[in-house]
Chain A
Amino acid sequence: MDPFCLKKLNQERRERRAVVLLTDLTDGRDRVIKESDPVVGELGEAIRKAFLTGQSGVKEIGGREFFLNVYLPSPRFVVIGAVHISEVLAPLAKIAGYEIEIIDPRSAFATPERFPDVTVYPDWPQDVLRERPLDAYCALAVLSHDPKIDDPALELAINAGCFYIGALGSRTTHAKRIERLKQLGFIDEHLDRINAPIGLDIGAIGPHEIAVAIIGGVIKAFRARGHQDKDIN
């Protein structure tokens, strides 16, 4: 392996960007391919699929064998609001492979007693997320019910291209939210990315079922990355 490739690969991984290390098994030469790099033809199709599924594997093209090793950043799941749903969502998300981080400036809500074994930031979302910026491998769910807390996080998530953005609230609440965000200059194309009412449509009632709907929505969105024009409900 070329040490230059290794450095480039590790740099991308540190920056939380997805990469494929393409090795030509015939001559041992390797190349680092970023998600945004244009690669055409059969190989391009295989690379696109590898990014989407996260599955590494061998592909034979034109009599040459290639190994595609995919490195996806581990997805982060940021939840705004240390509310009842978040309490149920934390262990559920963990089982599904997502460690959640909860942000809520209301320190009476964001207590370690209510959230054992969960990273909780008792600060404003814009402050926490300035230190730990969102990216395309983040999911965001806003659950605080307070626009002062939720809206700044939504703005950051839209701008960062998070793979999942969900917002709790009724259709009426969401319509008001959309109006506020439009006044900030967001257009329908951005706002359509917000999954509201939040989660998969399973007719959820109560915090436990809503938490199931949310984690289902996150998993579905992660598996459909790159096809975000599709309705994730």
Chain B
Amino acid sequence: MIAESWMKQGRDVAIATVIETWGSSPRRAGSQLVVDNAGNFEGSVSGGCVESSVIAEAVDVISHGKAIMLEFGVADETAWKVGLSCGGRIKIYLERLG
């Protein structure tokens, strides 16, 4: 709903969706985050642990238009950097609207 209203305002939008989770993760599959090209966002895909990283990627996805898959987890060095310390793993599908 937010994505649609942003689109109507003429903003370029990307949608991040949690598609798989393993172990303990704060948001279940289907949770979404809507980001515009200025980095404004609504919703959540984790308890705040990976959002900043997803938003940074989203700005790229908005510019090139190609959907990407992001994975965060304990096995992933960058996950520690962005602090997914809950011990879970999540897979996020990030796509541009339109």
Contact = CB atoms under 8 A, between A and B. Distances in A.
- Residue among A2, A55, A67 with max Cβ neighbours from chain B (10 Å): A67
B42 interface: no
Interface of B: 1, 3-4, 7, 15, 17, 19-20, 28-30, 67, 69, 93, 95-98
A1 B58 CA distance: 13
Contacts, number: 44
**Interface size range of chain A in the complex:** 10 to 19
B30 A6 contact: no
A187 interface: no
A69 B1 CA distance: 15
Main secondary structure of the interface of B (DSSP, over half): mixed
Per DSSP, chain A at the interface is mixed
Nearest to A30: B95
A6 B97 contact: yes
Contacts of A116: none
B11 to A, nearest CB: 12
B4 A67 contact: no
Nearest to B15: A1
